[in-house]
Amino acid sequence: MALRTEPFVLNMGPVHPSTHGVFRMRATLDGEVVLDIEPVFGYLHRGVEKLAEQRTYTGFIPLTDRMDYLASMSNNLGYCLAVEKLAGVKIPERGEYLRVIMAELQRLASHLVAVGAFLNDCGAYFTPFLYMFREREKIVDLFEMVSGQRLTYNYMRIGGVSQDIPEEFLPAMDKFLATMPGFIDEIDRLLKENEILLARAKGVGVLSSENAIACGVSGPVLRSTGIKWDIRKADPYSIYDRFDFEIPTGEAGDCYDRYRVRVEEMRQSLHILNQARKDIPEGPVRADVSHLVRPPAGEVYGRIEAPKGELGFYLVSDNSIAPYRCHVRPPSLINLTPLREMVRGWKVQDLIIIFGSIDITMGEVDR
């Protein structure tokens, strides 16, 4: 007689170490095989878009820190760029360079967490994670030097950055830039051809490029499917058109490619940082913009290539001191759209790493 099995529902999260925050999945399982999942959001919903309507344009910057809290600098940058586009502000050269330096350091920090957490999900408990955090700590120290904060930096302002860097900053960054390539090589030696990682991640959770485009996926997840799309190149903002760098892409769109793309992107960020370090000019860091800036009535969409993908701000202004509407285009939420199709047919432990390889921050998903 054939064995009859019945699907059952397993509730994963919202408090679960592998959910990277407070994400919840209702997984329908047949034994160990995932038949379907239903993502449940909202545990960290704070109504950021509504709060923006009750604050000044400058007053919203600290709230952007709290969306993708692993990439606060990038959030600051994306928002400030959108307001500046609306108000027509020109940023001084040194301010532009400082922004690029901070954004790229932030990308390194965010990818370090992404890679570390991904390896954690793969079962390499906390050893690689600890090494990643050791390196991330150096970046956080640099950010503390410029902003006094270690997580929510609130460093950028409309028209530039809040203050110039202290004189110890560039020597400290040089030290970091000298040691970081060696560390990335070390990760590669350990993991690039690691048999366990290959067995766990290669060919797992494949996302096709057609599906990625249909779902509006962006960032490393999109690039891992083989599409060479990086907003820094395709639609350059700030001064990214001055730097020379490559866009790493994957081929298969599996978990392993997503991991590889992030590691390669770290190298490219270091390359950009070295160029920016060499060319950074002296001068003012902030344009003369009032804290109560009143952009002319109109609407604008400003976007950047944040570590997790296309981070955009759609602002509608009615020429008052607060935005009439501020919509955030969250890469984390939209990158989760194809998750359901990616995990079907895989085992529970694969579900964990497929989800982990997308790299999301719940603060941005729920806002």
Partner 1 sequence: MTVALSGKEIARQLEEKFPGSTVQTDESSALVQDKSLLQTADFLKNSPELGLNYLNFVTAVDYFDYFEVVYRISSLEHNHWFTLKTRVYDREDPVLPSVVGIWKGADFQEREIYDLMGIKFENHPNMKRIFLWDGFPGHPLRKDYL
Residues at the site binding partner 1, with contacts judged by CB under 8 A: 41-42, 45, 47, 49-50, 211, 213-217, 227, 229, 234-236, 301, 303, 310, 312, 314, 316, 324-325, 327, 329, 333-334, 336-338, 366-367
Q: What is the nearest approach in angstroms of partner 1 to the Cβ of residue 336? A: 7
Q: Which is nearer to partner 1, 44 or 184 (CB)?
A: 44
Q: What is the nearest approach in angstroms of partner 1 to the Cβ of residue 187? A: 30
* CA pair distance 63, 285, nearest whole angstrom: 22
Query: Any idea which residue has 């960290």 for tokens?
Result: 44
Q: Which is nearer to partner 1, 248 or 312 (CB)?
A: 312
Q: Where are the beta strands (DSSP E) in 85-159?
A: 156-157
Q: Among residues 290, 305, 350, which one has the least CA distance to residue 68?
A: 305
* CA pair distance 214, 101, nearest whole angstrom: 33
Q: Which is nearer to partner 1, 112 or 360 (CB)?
A: 360
Q: Which is nearer to partner 1, 176 or 245 (CB)?
A: 245
Residue 184 φ/ψ, nearest 5 degrees = -65, -40
Q: Which is nearer to partner 1, 128 or 363 (CB)?
A: 363
Query: Any idea which residue has 């090589």 for tokens?
Result: 185
Q: What is the nearest approach in angstroms of partner 1 to the Cβ of residue 38? A: 8
**What is the per-residue DSSP string for 310-364?**
EEEEEEEE-SSSS-SEEEEE-HHHHHTTTHHHHHTTSBHHHHHHHHHHH---HHH
Q: Which is nearer to partner 1, 177 or 206 (CB)?
A: 206
Q: Which is nearer to partner 1, 101 or 207 (CB)?
A: 207
**Local structure of 162: helix, strand or coil:** coil
Q: Do residues 55 and 63 lie in contact, with contact meaning Cβ atoms separated by under 8 Å?
A: yes
Looking at residue 167, the DSSP 8-state letter turns out to be T
- H/E segment holding residue 147: helix 127-147
* CA pair distance 178, 65, nearest whole angstrom: 28
Q: What is the nearest approach in angstroms of partner 1 to the Cβ of residue 261? A: 16
* CA pair distance 259, 204, nearest whole angstrom: 12
Q: Among residues 31, 22, 81, which one has the least CA distance to residue 57?
A: 81
Tokens of 208: 């096709």
Q: What is the nearest approach in angstroms of partner 1 to the Cβ of residue 23? A: 13
Query: Any idea which residue has 């921050």 for tokens?
Result: 361
Q: What is the nearest approach in angstroms of partner 1 to the Cβ of residue 305? A: 12
Q: What is the nearest approach in angstroms of partner 1 to the Cβ of residue 323? A: 11
Q: What is the nearest approach in angstroms of partner 1 to the Cβ of residue 127? A: 35
Q: Which is nearer to partner 1, 274 or 337 (CB)?
A: 337
